Amino acid sequence: MSDLKPSPRRTTKPKAKSAVPAKAVGKAVRLRTPKPVDRATMVEIFRRLQEANPEPKGELDYTNPYTLLVAVALSAQSTDVGVNKATKALFPIADTPRKMLALGEEGLKEHIKTLNFYNTKAKNVIAAARRLVDEFGGEVPNSVEILETLPGVGRKTASVVVNIAFGDPRVAVDTHIFRVTNRLPLANTKTPLDTQVALEKLIPAEYRLHAHHWLILHGRYICKARRPECWRCPVNDLCRYPDKTIP
């Protein structure tokens, strides 16, 4: 029947053909969503990351759990370098919730006005300090669930704080870790929370404490968003990312 001419009364236009054949589209999708690495490969990935950087450290400056909490909260939509510049003069005079309240919202703004959304951040930091003083005796609780209830503190910030300040093996997920996780891939995920849940379940216990730092530093300096530097990646032979920048 394919050789019959269309009826002259037909007014609807035929659908435009896709510029890319359906088979090719399907193939491309499959190539860009490879199966996550197996456990043995994951162990080797983290073994190499540990070998390259045995004691990874975050790049935010802080002096205690409270200043760490403030620094991480201020880092949203801002660089670590920018936050460190802003807190260099802040933390010597406001390194506890009580001192932060004494400084006040306007005083805090003067220190952090170089950061994005500093008005909102100042409001949240002061409100969080008030709750820490009123409900927790001025101490930062070692609990992701409690920290998440503080103004301006989300799952990522809370997880970073308990990981670094208290040695809780939580894997906070930012854009770098989300990218690296799905490129290798350690897991195929759609949201940061999905990624954190997957990583905390899959990463071997002996590597989980420092996993956050290894992955974020790897994503920040090697597995970059626009052009990953695969030529110097210590795990490039284990990575399944289809768009590697090496032959």
Q: From first to last of its 247 residues, what are the pLDDT tens digits of the chain?
A: 334 334 444 444 444 444 434 444 334 344 457 999 999 999 999 999 999 999 999 999 999 999 999 999 999 999 999 999 999 999 999 999 999 999 999 999 999 999 999 999 999 999 999 999 999 999 999 999 999 999 999 999 999 999 999 999 999 999 999 999 999 999 999 999 999 999 999 999 999 999 999 999 999 999 999 999 999 999 999 999 999 998 7
State the binding site: 223, 230, 233, 239
In the set 17, 85, 156, 237, the catalytic residue is: 156
State the binding site for [4Fe-4S] cluster: 223, 230, 233, 239
pLDDT for the residue 33: 79
37-57+170-232: CATH number? 1.10.1670.10
Q: Is 174 an annotated catalytic residue?
A: yes
Q: Is 156 an annotated catalytic residue?
A: yes
In the set 17, 88, 174, 224, the catalytic residue is: 174
Q: Residue 40 class from Cβ within 10 Å (0-12 exposed, 13-18 middle, 19+ buried)?
A: exposed
Q: Do 65-166 and 37-57+170-232 have the same topology in CATH?
A: no
Q: 143 Cβ partners below 8 Å, 6+ apart?
A: 162
Nearest residue to 68 (alpha-carbon basis) of 44, 33, 96, 26? 96
Domain boundaries, the chain: 37-57+170-232, 65-166
Asked if 168 contacts 161 with a C-beta cutoff of 8 angstroms, the reply is no
> What architecture is domain 65-166?
Orthogonal Bundle (1.10)
pLDDT for the residue 214: 97
pLDDT for the residue 24: 40
